[in-house]
Amino acid sequence: MIVLANDGISQVGVEKLENNGFKVITTNVAQDQIIDFINRNSITCLLVRSATKVRKDIIDSCESLKLIGRGGVGMDNIDVEYAKSKGICVINTPGASSLSVAELVFAHIMTCSRFLHDSNRNMPLEGDVNFKKLKKNYSKGSELKNKTIGIIGFGRIGQEVAKIAYGCGMNVIFSDHFLKEVEIKVSFFDGQSISFKPSLVSLDELLINSDYITLHVPAQKKYLIDKEEFSKMKDGVGIVNAARGGVINEESLIDFIDSGKIKFAGLDTFENEPNPSIKTLMNSKISLTPHIGAATSEAQERIGLELADQIISEFK
């Protein structure tokens, strides 16, 4: 059986598949050529991340395809139900990258709380001639301890965010349509652990009471955070979106940043990705990363191994 890992797969994942009799191709095939490539090579399993789209045209045109795998959580780039209706197995790796995304959330929060994103832009330009001025500009940072973080969407990633927040001495509240009560176990390097029960609140309560807000929800048909929601937030709140582009109205976000209502934003996902708005990219109060939440060596190894295990289980 032949596996096409069109958006890549870790070497440990490749080796595990090959050791179990699969041929693995890691060539990156352009979207408009992928149907022909799958058919010419009799591809059995197509593995993607977020770049490759697996829509009805591929599903209908590729009779050899028996499995579609998504290395990551969200599967909005795959017509999942349609594939299943055609007898194609669809898998993903929902837990493998949770810690990596959560750590990136806090990288943005800490960066913005101490103005590192802007300081790192300006120090190379002015650090040698305006050192004292820059020191004054960046002298009003804030600590995380005793602040409240509101987590919208409390699945695997949201819970990993909560663990880091507790480690920083923060108060954690969350809003979720499906969960009512969750116990968070924070484990330490020496085997000790401590458990917490964060407070479930309504979305409005979360918006009103949070010093920091982070979103961990799937793609939405309409904005989850728009003018009405921004207006309810505390003055000086920080917000991070490492979930999906389009859950926040970025135009409204910029308006509220410019007004001073929102202190900063950290964005790893964007509307119109992979062509974010230039207004978003140029705003000095937004910390920016190019959708790299799961892009750590450790997460990629876990994703590759988890995909390999599921494929082996399905076909062996």
For residue 146, what are the CA distances in angstroms to 139, 149, 212?
Answer: 20, 10, 12
Per-residue pLDDT of the chain (316 residues; tens, 9 = 90+): 999 999 999 999 999 999 999 999 999 999 999 999 999 999 999 999 988 999 999 999 999 999 999 998 888 899 999 999 999 999 999 889 999 999 999 999 999 999 999 999 999 999 999 999 999 999 999 999 999 999 999 999 999 999 999 999 999 999 999 998 999 999 999 999 999 999 999 999 999 999 999 999 998 999 999 999 999 999 999 999 999 999 999 999 999 999 999 999 999 999 999 999 999 999 999 999 999 999 999 999 999 999 999 999 999 8
Tokens standing for 11? Answer: 């070497």
Both structure tokens of 68:
């579609």
pTM, entire model = 0.90
| Distance spanning both ends of the chain, measured CA to CA | 11
**What kind of fold does domain 98-288 have according to CATH?**
Rossmann fold (3.40.50)
User: Which residues does the annotation mark as catalytic?
Assistant: 244, 273, 291
Enclosing H/E stretch for 46: strand 45-48
| Positive/negative CA dihedral, 270, 147, 152, 224 | negative
CATH 3.40.50.720: which residues of the chain?
2-93+297-315, 98-288
> What is the architecture of the domain spanning 2-93+297-315?
3-Layer(aba) Sandwich (3.40)
Please give the full DSSP string across 52-119, using - where no structure is assigned. Answer: S-B-HHHHHH-TT--EEEESSS--TTB-HHHHHHTT-EEEE-TTTTHHHHHHHHHHHHHHHHTTHHHH
d(CA 126, CA 105): 28
